[in-house]
Amino acid sequence: MRVNPVLVEVERSGFVESWHRGSAVGLAPGGEVAVAAGEPDQPVFPRSANKPIQAVAMLRSGLDLDGEALALAAGSHSGEDFHVEAVERVLAAAGLTSAALRCPAAWPLDAEAERNAVRAGWQRSPLRMNCSGKHAGMLAACVAAGWPTETYLDADHPLQLAVEAAVAELTGEKPAAVGVDGCGAPLFAVSVTGVARAFRRLVVADPGTPERRVADAMRAAPQYTAGTRREETRLMEAIPGLLVKCGAEGVDAFAYADGRAGAVKIDDGAMRARTPVTVALLRALGVAEETRHDLERLAAPELLGGTDPVGAVRVAPGLFGR
């Protein structure tokens, strides 16, 4: 069993109380590895970081979406009202209703949206599940292609075979394993480096191609890819031209307009550790410095003692030579 290095330390009152190990990689504009930590060539489940690749497969299969609707189909939304309304519009345009969704019922990811839903008397719903945009896109792609919608999550369904082919092509790897994601869709294991390679290919693709359409839609409407209060949204708004997508179990992936790209996997699945490493990669690759934007609150989120800051979640000293 591999033992990756400590990427992130959790320091409270001058005392390091927790550590998060993992692997990470940063690619130069040409695609070569510029910085790395741990073993980024080992396969992992990228979880929702796969969604932009899945969206490419949807477009190649005939899905006709752009703008906010495509960003939603490629993202993990927060379950806010405007997300739900957009999912319903995608389904309605395909002649479907929420009854066709096979993702599980859930509360919104966004805490404020969850409180509002409870106050309004709503119950958990597939529409508010963070993957419902992707599922709506998959269903619409099936309608466009004339494929059955009832079995759209089956591993041997034509759409899922198209997704697997897109994953292999864009990552440059044959998936090491096939599993089932939390939303019920097939999930393909590839390396952290492969994920970074795929994201790079999205942003450097020719305008109008499925890859570039996905990247452009996500960057133009990060609030639909994530939500109004999400870290990915804050990063994309802070750095024009940056594409970011997280995945469960401590995964992050990004690509900048010129082809610089990276990906992170936190071994213990801690979501709090992924963004500090992503910011460290952006700094190591020179992206953060070029944009001259203060990312410190994302690079080192504060820990509170009562109501006062007493520490932070920050990358380990010397990570990526910084």
- For every residue of 130-188, DSSP letters joined together read TTHHHHHHHHHHHHHHT--STTTTSTTSHHHHHHHHHHHHHHTS--SEEEE-TTSSEEE
**Phi, psi at 180, each rounded to 5°:** -125, 125
Asked if pLDDT for residue 37 goes beyond 80, the answer is yes
Residue-wise pLDDT tens digits, 269-283 = 999 999 999 999 999
Residue-wise pLDDT tens digits, 53-100 = 999 999 999 999 999 999 999 999 999 999 999 999 999 999 999 999
Residue-wise pLDDT tens digits, 4-33 = 999 999 999 999 999 999 999 999 999 999
β-sheet bridge partners, residue 190: 44
Residue-wise pLDDT tens digits, 135-158 = 999 999 999 999 999 999 999 999
Which pLDDT score is estimated for 197?
Answer: 98
Show the tokens assigned to 129: 């599940």
Which pLDDT score is estimated for 160?
Answer: 98
Residues in the chain: 322
Which pLDDT score is estimated for 65?
Answer: 97
Longest dimension (CA), the chain: 61
Average pLDDT, the chain: 95
Which pLDDT score is estimated for 322?
Answer: 66
Whether the Cβ atoms of residue 191 and residue 43 lie closer than 8 Å to each other: yes
- Percentage of the chain beyond pLDDT 70 is 98
CATH number for 6-321 (one of 3.40.50, 2.60.40, 3.40.630, 3.40.710): it is 3.40.710
Could you tell me the pLDDT band of residue 173, with boundaries at 50, 70 and 90? very high
Q: Is 318 left (phi over 0), alpha (psi -120 to 50) or beta?
A: left
Asked if pLDDT for residue 132 goes beyond 80, the answer is yes
Asked if pLDDT for residue 288 goes beyond 80, the answer is no
Asked if pLDDT for residue 292 goes beyond 60, the answer is no
Whether the Cβ atoms of residue 139 and residue 96 lie closer than 8 Å to each other: yes
Helices (H), the chain: 51-60, 67-73, 81-93, 111-119, 132-145, 158-171, 192-204, 210-220, 222-225, 231-238, 274-284, 287-291, 296-299
Which pLDDT score is estimated for 291?
Answer: 63
Asked if pLDDT for residue 246 goes beyond 80, the answer is yes
What's the predicted TM-score (pTM) here? 0.95
Domain range summary for the chain, segments of one domain joined by +: 6-321
Measured distance CA(237)–CA(195) in Å, rounded = 22
